[in-house]
Amino acid sequence: MVAASETAQVPVARSWRHGLSLRLFAITIAAVLIIETIIFIPSAAAFRWEWLTERVQAARVAALALDAAPSRMVSDQLSSELLASAEVLAVAEIENETRVQLLAPRVPITGEMKSIDLRQRRLFASMGATIDAFMNTEERTLIIRAEGSTPDRLIEVVVPEAPLREELIAYCHRIILLSLIISFVAGTLIFLLLVFTVVRPVRRITNSVEQFRDDPGGWTRRLRSTQRRDEIGRAQNALADMEEAVSDSFRQRQRLAELGEAVAKINHDLRNSLATAQLVSDGLGRSEDPRVKKALPRMERALERAINLATDTLQYGKADTPKANLQTVDLHVCLEDAGSEALAPFPNVICKNEVPAGTLAEADPDHLHRIAVNLMRNAAQAMNGEGSIRAHFDRDTLTISDTGPGLPEKARDNLFKAFASSSKRDGTGLGLVIARDLARAMGGDLSLKSTGPEGTAFTIKFQLAKAAADT
């Protein structure tokens, strides 16, 4: 009991860790970050392209200063200032395969050179070049080529790659920070939306199921129906209907159990009282008073019916049908014994046992005896003690039929319903119900085959014995 209670308390203590809310929040943030990561590389490539374009534009502006100078020549100091303002190392112009140095570098350019042509822009190539700029740690120099002042001219700008890499890293940091902010805000908004539309209804349904599981009969806080028409709404409405039906059924079953217990006690006391009355009737049987002798048979029959009613009611009220002890039985012998017992009070009823001697089946001898006795006794009573009963076996089915008038329509409709199927005024209707339960306990079944003016026939299914099945 201690282990069970501890196990039940663990989910409550850790519900915030294993709850749906935290998982949805984490999944939302992760999804936003993944999307931001996918978008980051194209956006970084666009940032790199803009950075290179800005350097070319600055170089063009610097080159315009040469147009105002005589012979397009400027002093070294002005050339250095123009290069510094444009943040480039050198600027050249190409026209008709002729390269003209507009702004010469102030220091020698060494190291690896990498050419970039801005006239051809390809997305995947630009993304690859951006990743390469991130990963490269060597001091490289970029030679950027773009359209010049006229369509037939090209401008060539030489810039170091290190500033570009630093700008890309700074851009990456800004994007990461912005992505975290966006993911947190978006995750929070989506989380709140999901909490109110999904998590809280699911949590309410889950709590209702758990509470209903722990106390289906006494729990009164039923789940209310909702106007939602989506899957969660339909599940909640279905659960609410199920809880109401099961709870009502559980309470009804509990009341029936209490009523059955009370009836059992009443039957016990009633049987004791009837036994005492039967002893008194035995004493009255020795009386010579003619009035007593005339009334005594009716009194004995009334007592016998009352005792049978109490016995059948108690037997049916047992929760479980006795388990079958299956063994190989001889059907012919079993039916002979049952016929002798059932038809003893009916000497004018003929029993035709047409089951061949040595017919074997897997059955419980006691169960089979009780079933056969019940069917034969019912048949004899239906024929008013005049007629014949026939027992026939074919493959795995035993048929017991009579030559009676048949069952009334009311009895047919409620044949296997307790307290409702009896066609006799003083019957309980429990005999066939108990007999069918015994047949099913043996792995077979009891059913009505036919009924009418020519008589009534019942069939009992059996499991054949292995020896009989092999033959």
Write out pLDDT tens, residues 162-197: 888 898 889 888 888 888 888 788 778 877 887 787
pTM of the model: 0.42
Task: Output 450 or 317, whichever has higher pLDDT.
Answer: 450
In angstroms, the CA 383 to CA 306 distance is 23
**Statement: residue 91 has pLDDT above 60:** yes
Task: Output 286 or 461, whichever has higher pLDDT.
Answer: 461
User: What's the burial of 158, exposed, middle or buried (CB within 10 Å: 0-12/13-18/19+)?
Assistant: buried
In angstroms, the CA 383 to CA 405 distance is 7
**Statement: residue 467 has pLDDT above 50:** no
In-domain check, residue 221: no
**Statement: residue 404 has pLDDT above 70:** yes
In-domain check, residue 258: no
| Range name among 22-31, 204-213, 251-260 with the lowest pLDDT average | 251-260
Nearest residue to 462 via CA among 391, 384, 382, 412: 391
**Statement: residue 352 has pLDDT above 90:** yes
Neighbours of 322 (CB within 10 A): 14
Nearest residue to 346 via CA among 311, 312, 317, 387: 387
Mean pLDDT value across residues 196-217: 75
**Statement: residue 5 has pLDDT above 70:** no
Report the DSSP beta bridge partners of residue 460. 398, 446
Confidence of residue 228 (pLDDT cuts 50, 70, 90): confident
| Range name among 44-48, 198-202, 339-343 with the lowest pLDDT average | 198-202
The radius of gyration of the chain from alpha carbons, rounded to an integer in Å, stands at 50
Question: Could you tell me whether strands 112-117 and 140-147 are parallel, antiparallel, or unpaired per DSSP bridges?
Answer: parallel
In-domain check, residue 300: no
**Statement: residue 350 has pLDDT above 90:** yes
pLDDT at 355: 92
State pLDDT tens for residues 243-272.
777 767 776 676 666 666 666 666 666 666
Confidence of residue 148 (pLDDT cuts 50, 70, 90): confident
Nearest residue to 159 via CA among 195, 118, 205, 211: 118
**Statement: residue 370 has pLDDT above 70:** yes
Mean pLDDT is highest, among 229-243, 353-367, 455-469, for 353-367
Dihedral sign of CA atoms 348, 354, 355, 357 in order: positive
Mean pLDDT value across residues 98-124: 82
The CA angle 86-100-73, to the nearest 5 degrees, is 70
Among 159, 183, 207, where does a domain finish? 183
In-domain check, residue 136: yes
In-domain check, residue 79: yes
In angstroms, the CA 92 to CA 77 distance is 18
Spatial contact of 458 and 400, defined as CB atoms under 8 Å apart = yes
Mean pLDDT is highest, among 22-36, 212-226, 271-285, 379-393, for 379-393
**Statement: residue 112 has pLDDT above 80:** yes
Among 160, 183, 206, where does a domain finish? 183
pLDDT at 470: 47
Question: How many distinct structural domains can be found in the chain?
Answer: 2
In angstroms, the CA 447 to CA 460 distance is 7
**Statement: residue 421 has pLDDT above 60:** no
Among 145, 162, 183, where does a domain finish? 183
DSSP H helices in 285-391: 290-316, 331-342, 365-382
Query: Which structure tokens are listed for 332?
Result: 């012919």
**Rounded alpha-carbon distances, angstroms, from residue 466 to 366, 440, 469:** 20, 20, 5
Report the DSSP beta bridge partners of residue 93. 100, 155
Query: Which structure tokens are listed for 108?
Result: 């020698």
Task: Output 221 or 400, whichever has higher pLDDT.
Answer: 400
**Statement: residue 286 has pLDDT above 50:** yes
Report DSSP state, residue 400: E
Backbone φ/ψ region at 302: left (φ over 0), alpha (ψ -120 to 50), beta: alpha
pLDDT at 60: 82
State pLDDT tens for residues 31-60.
877 887 888 888 888 888 999 988 888 888
Nearest residue to 369 via CA among 402, 328, 336: 336
Spatial contact of 145 and 156, defined as CB atoms under 8 Å apart = yes
Neighbours of 110 (CB within 10 A): 8
In-domain check, residue 80: yes
**Statement: residue 224 has pLDDT above 80:** no
Mean pLDDT is highest, among 7-16, 171-180, 194-203, 320-329, for 171-180
Mean pLDDT value across residues 325-343: 90
CATH value at residue 395: 3.30.565.10
Task: Output 314 or 408, whichever has higher pLDDT.
Answer: 408
**Statement: residue 351 has pLDDT above 70:** yes
In-domain check, residue 409: yes
Confidence of residue 101 (pLDDT cuts 50, 70, 90): confident
Spatial contact of 382 and 456, defined as CB atoms under 8 Å apart = yes
Q: Which residue has the tokens 């493959």?
A: 395
pLDDT at 264: 67
User: Which residues span the domain enclosing 414?
Assistant: 327-470
In-domain check, residue 223: no
**Statement: residue 422 has pLDDT above 70:** no
